[in-house]
Amino acid sequence: MIRILKTRLRQGHRTTKFPLELPVLPDRYRGRPVLDAAKCAEGCRDCAAACPTGAITLNGAPKLDLGRCLFCTECVDACPDGALRYSRDYRMAASRREDLVLSSGEMRLAQRMADDLYRVLGRALRLREVCAGSCNACDLDTNVLNTVGWDLSRFGIQFVASPRHADGLVVTGAISRNMHHALLETYEAVPKPRIVVAVGACAISGGPFRDSPDVLNGVEGILPVDLYVPGCPPHPLTILDGLLRLIGRIREEPALHGVTQP
């Protein structure tokens, strides 16, 4: 007992103050990509050619689909004009699929859930995670939210075992054919009102596994999604930020000192 107390005192209290205080992410962290179309050279298609998932489209104004982006470095390396770069902004969860398609302007971040949902679920949100054809990285970084540092429970959010006790699903993975049935059955088992959160490029678009005959390219068209969290895998902060926006715990855009700087 004394030993436990001693260890506890040395380990200390570790929960961050987020969202009141923002953590500083390392220089090399690849946050939300920023696209400066003004710098684009006429007719240059290098980035689109380099992109392994076809996330960049150049028909008309250049667009980058965050839902497909794997956050590799290919497009940035390929661009001869520096029109593409990664910021350190971890905020990129969106309420609508189309909000994930970035062009030069600001991104529309996730909004609070609809009022009737919010009245019921705003302060107590229990989620059932379903992993359906992922590489496991998204699951691990979702799980990280339960560790002492992020401590999801302080926001009234909790992951539960039984979908009957849940208010929504968190889906990761590209939805393998073999998990399709189980995913639907789990969704059916959740009492209404319920929400769906798609975490990671796989769940949004199939990610690295897109167009494999063994996957269904994400949850789009299978379940109605309330929150999209892009990334491959998303940083835990990105997921947390998205969930907190969903339950209205982050409303204003906080000033991101130093975070958005490259």
What residues between 124 and 153 interact with other proteins by CB under 8 A? 124, 126, 128-144, 146-149, 151, 153
Contact string 68-97 vs other proteins (x = CB under 8 A): --xxxxx-----------x-----------
* First and final C-alpha spacing in the chain: 47
Question: SS3 string of 154-207?
Answer: HHCEEECCCHHHCCEEEEECCCEHHHHHHHHHHHHCCCCCCEEEEEHHHHHHCH
Contact string 166-205 vs other proteins (x = CB under 8 A): -x-----xx-xxxx-xxx-xx-xxxxxx------------
- Segment near other proteins (CB under 8 A), from 58-66, 100-108, 114-122, 217-225? 114-122
Report 40-59 residues binding other proteins (CB under 8 A). 50, 52-53
Tell me which residue of 89, 83, 88 sits closest to 103, measured CA to CA. Answer: 83
Q: Taking CB under 8 A as the rule, does residue 212 contact other proteins?
A: yes
From residue 57, give the alpha-carbon distance in Å to each of 66, 87, 132.
12, 20, 28
Amino acid, res. 98: E
| Alpha carbon distance 94, 68 (integer Å) | 14
Count of residues that bind other proteins according to CB under 8 A: 92
Q: Which is nearer to other proteins, 11 or 59 (CB)?
A: 11
Tell me which residue of 71, 96, 41 sits closest to 246, measured CA to CA. Answer: 96
Q: Which is nearer to other proteins, 108 or 177 (CB)?
A: 177
- Can you list the alpha helix ranges (DSSP code H) found in the chain? 2-11, 46-50, 74-78, 115-121, 137-143, 177-188, 200-205, 236-246
- Segment near other proteins (CB under 8 A), from 34-42, 104-112, 122-130, 252-260? 122-130
Report 230-259 residues binding other proteins (CB under 8 A). 232-233, 235
Q: Which is nearer to other proteins, 7 or 59 (CB)?
A: 7
Q: Which is nearer to other proteins, 99 or 121 (CB)?
A: 121
Q: Which is nearer to other proteins, 48 or 102 (CB)?
A: 48
